[in-house]
Amino acid sequence: MEIVIKTFAELSLEELYGLLRLRSEVFVVEQDCVYQDVDNKDQKALHVIGKIDNKIVAYTRLFKPGYYFERSSIGRVVVSSDYRGMNLGHKILTASIEAVNSFFKVKDIEISAQTYLMKFYSEHSFETIGEEYLEDGIPHIRMIRH
């Protein structure tokens, strides 16, 4: 998988369409969750895109400290259902953590994780904080990586 990191302004129309399509396929259709994915935050995010044969198959978006949470954050972590089981989630998350460290010059990262993915994130040194809560009708937990 090739990984590219771009600001919103650097995204091509094809890339923007592809990442929005992937997010919609998984977060809206697959998870049967009606919510506002296009939330006016993409313009402030750094976009980490995983491509195979020029198709977007994995994605995250990153925020500087103080924009989404007090700490830097990683969100919209997603892998296409057609490409699961290939460790692409681990690869895109590792690249995202490295990007936070290199672009934002910070180590601490806070996420709002879907609860069923706690083990996945803990394998990347994220620790849970607080209690489980509902976000868009889906159980989530806050997690921090120092």
Alpha-carbon radius of gyration of the chain? 14
pLDDT at position 35 is: 87
- Looking at the structure of the chain, the number of domains it has is 1
**pLDDT above 70: percentage of residues in the chain:** 100
What pLDDT is attached to residue 33? 87
What is the CB neighbour count within 10 angstroms for residue 29? 10
- What integer pLDDT is reported at residue 131 of this predicted model? 97
C-alpha to C-alpha distance for 18 and 119, rounded to whole angstroms: 28
* 143: in domain: no
Check which CATH number belongs to the domain holding 94 and give it: 3.40.630.30
Residues 51-74 have pLDDT tens digits of 999 999 999 999 999 998 999 999
Residue-range definition of the domain harbouring residue 59: 2-106
| 62 in any annotated domain | yes
Spatial distance between the Cα atoms of 133 and 130, rounded to a whole number of angstroms = 9
In a 13 Å sphere around the CA of 96, the CA atoms on its Cβ side amount to 33
Mean pLDDT over the full length of the chain: 96
- Residue 38: inside a domain, yes or no? yes
Question: Which residue numbers in the chain have pLDDT < 50?
Answer: none
Angle at 32 between CA 26 and CA 38, to 5 degrees: 60
Place of tokens 């159980």: 139
Residue 41 lies in a domain: yes
Residue 129 belongs to a domain = no
**What is the side-by-side strand order in the sheet with 55-63?**
2-7, 46-52, 55-63, 72-79, 109-114, 138-145, 127-135
Residues 6+ apart with CB under 8 A from 113: 121, 126, 140, 141, 142, 143
Whether 85 and 100 have beta carbons less than 8 Å apart is answered as no
